[in-house]
Amino acid sequence: MQQRWEKGFQKPLDDIAGKLGSGASGEFSPIMAGIQRINLEAFQPLPAGIPKTLYVASDMVEHTAAFSSYRDGVSIAKFESSSAREKFRTSLDGVQVKILAFQRPGQKFKMEDLAAFWKSWVEKNNGEFSGFTRLEGLE
């Protein structure tokens, strides 16, 4: 079990953490679309009553044409009035969502505000927000 955990979870996390400071930014960061896809393809087909937990390890900075935290900040009100609200809406009924957040250097908003944004997004999609953990070792 320890080997499976290290290979399937800890090693990928360590690899991501090691690349954050030197890696190039992607053109887009569609976190909501990723959650939506996982929900539709992996969770929705499961029978009712099966526990579902989603761990998201990311900088949690949504960046798409429809909504961008770089452009719009981490305002849930701005998100709610954007086209992204309907585009990335997904029913997270019965899904617990736990966020493991990497902080980008020079980020223009507080991690507490980012956590509040994602808590609101998960709950507005009927999910259970299980926490937001800032991963250590990154500024």
8-40 pLDDT tens trace = 666 666 665 555 554 445 577 899 999 999 999
pTM score: 0.79
Q: How far apart are CA 81 and CA 103, in angstroms?
A: 26
H or E element at residue 38: helix 31-38
CA dist 73 to 30, 82, 113, Å?
15, 12, 9
What's the pLDDT tens digit per position in 43-83? 998 888 899 999 999 999 999 999 999 999 999 999 999 99
